[in-house]
Amino acid sequence: MKRIVARDKRSLWDCYHAKVGKGEKLFCSQGYPLPHNISIFSVARGAALGPQICQDCLHYEAMEPCPLSKGLRGWDRAVWPKRKG
């Protein structure tokens, strides 16, 4: 019997195809539609960026050997207000 191993959640932080385009919106260079609420402001806050479309993507290409750690994501956490709710 084959054992199923859970994989880590895929993230735009770790994919070579995630790019910043006009209007400071993130997009996929492979043409997959990303949620409209993902912007450069989400990146600045260091938000977790793992939309469902990335979880099932056949073209997901993880940066190797060392993806960006959660502690190094974002750059402006002190400036952005925390979300309520």
Question: Which range of residues forms the domain containing residue 19?
Answer: 12-66
Residue 78 maps to a domain = no
Residue 42 maps to a domain = yes
Residue 85 maps to a domain = no
Residue 19 maps to a domain = yes
Residue 74 maps to a domain = no
pTM exceeds 0.85 for this model: no
Tokens linked to 63: 């940066």
What torsion do the CA atoms of 34, 49, 60, 7 make, to the nearest 10 degrees? -130
C-alpha distances out from residue 30 to 15, 34, 57, 66, Å: 11, 11, 10, 22
Residue 49 maps to a domain = yes
Structurally, the chain folds into a number of domains equal to 1
Tens digit of each residue's pLDDT (9 = 90 or more) over 2-23? 444 445 788 888 888 988 887 7
